[in-house]
Chains A and B, each alone.
Chain A
Amino acid sequence: MKKGVVVILAVAIIGTLGIYGKKQSSTAQVHKTTPRLTAKPATISSSSPTRSDSRYKDGTYTGALAGTVYGPVQISVVISGGKITDVNFLRMPDDLGYTQEVTAFSEPLLEDETLQKQSAQIDFVSGATQTSEGYAQSLQAALDQAA
């Protein structure tokens, strides 16, 4: 199976869709089968903590079709009461081997380059039970050493 950076498809923060990136050769449809995405929970901040949702006027916004690493993506976002209340993926890209299904996940999709830049800033990695045996080779260990 093809290897590469696989990016989680997620709800975009409205205003900018947060979707950029270069196209790859494989494009296909991924079916979004989950119900509409809910607004972000208050306890998890976006990467711009000072941004307030209330500057967005109520209404439905459809983003331009944008290229991502995995194909074109278009997102429609509904603003109600100044908050995101509904998000629909109108088209979702396929990927290099994973089908990504989002039941509700509100972080912007990062372009490959941004992801690489930002990954230099990561503090911690969340993954399935990372064991003591695997630790030495892990990304977390590298982060811990660099901290």
Chain B
Amino acid sequence: MRQVRQIMGMPITIDIPKAESSRIFEAVFEVLKQIDTQFSTYRKNSEVCKYARGEIKTPSKSLAKVISECQEAEAYTDGYFSVWYNNKFDPSGYVKGWAIAEAGKLIEKSGYKTYCISAGGDILARSDSDKVWKIGIQDPQDPKQILNMLSISNGAVATSGNYERGNHIYNPKTKKPATDFLSVTVTGPDIIKADILATAVLAAGTQNLDFMKIQKDYQALTIIHRSQGSNR
């Protein structure tokens, strides 16, 4: 069974082959809505917005955890993943992957070990059967085309890019839009980390990827527009 909802401003698709009723989907979408209420930067009264305005002295346990994970992510990406930009706090880049992971935990707790979740183009695939999930990589310049296909039994795929309207990633060090890569796709065991690395690689550009090269379990595919020329 597969269901889609628009939550957190993006389409979230959940596929659980063995599900026989909507119940598990409703439960998962409910969790995602709660995460949105707490973490949305578009809801003025979300905990994240209050925290960003300095109205909260002690963040909730979950927000505190997100903050600390973001600090760690900033460290292992050499600063290219940062939720503090222009003195603004926006953990959306972390929350997306985290929300997917939370959704996955609930699905597994409910007894389903074969499932796939896509949220805004980031994907978590799990299988303890012979099901192999086929994940296409979107062509940065044609949303109806895919460039290649991955076959994943257990793993995460996260793609970041500057090609969707309104989605601009900046190099936090130069403060300029990151334009080296048209898109970056990272695969690996954990969706949160894959998401962080995809964002960081895009932001860092071609010259600053030492932090990615040492990530043994994660792989990155980067796509550059030819007209940008050789940049080695």
Contacts and interface: CB of A to CB of B under 8 A. Distances in A.
B143 A126 contact: no
B2 A147 contact: yes
29 contacts: A5-B145, A5-B147, A8-B147, A8-B223, A41-B189, A41-B218, A43-B155, A43-B189, A45-B154, A98-B223, A99-B224, A100-B222, A101-B206, A103-B213, A103-B219, A105-B221, A107-B151, A118-B149, A121-B134, A122-B136, A124-B13, A124-B123, A127-B164, A128-B161, A129-B167, A138-B144, A139-B146, A140-B11, A140-B13
Contacts of B165: 131, 133-134
B13 A102 contact: no
B120 A99 contact: no
B226 A97 contact: yes
User: Sorted from nearest, which 9 A-B pairs have the closest CB atoms?
Assistant: A128-B161, A127-B138, A47-B151, A8-B148, A45-B153, A147-B2, A104-B219, A44-B155, A135-B11
Contact of A131 (B134, B137, B166): B166
A127 B121 contact: yes
A118 B149 CA distance: 8
A131 B10 CA distance: 4
Given A130-B164, A131-B166, A98 B226 contact: yes
A131 B136 CA distance: 17
A144 B145 CA distance: 16
Interface of B: 2, 4, 6, 9-11, 13, 15, 96, 116, 118, 120-123, 125, 130, 132-155, 157-167, 182-183, 185, 187-189, 206, 209, 212-213, 216-228, 230, 232
Given A128-B121, A139-B143, A100 B9 contact: no
A82 to B, nearest CB: 19
A106 B230 CA distance: 24
Contacts of B161: 127-129
Interface residues of A, number: 59
A139 B146 CA distance: 9
Interface in A79-123: 94-95, 97-107, 109-110, 115, 118-119, 121-123
B138 to A, nearest CB: 3
A12 to B, nearest CB: 12
B6 A122 contact: no
A132 B118 CA distance: 13
Of A35, A103, A122, A134, most B-chain CB atoms within 10 Å: A103
Nearest to A96: B226
B136 A106 contact: no
Nearest to A120: B134
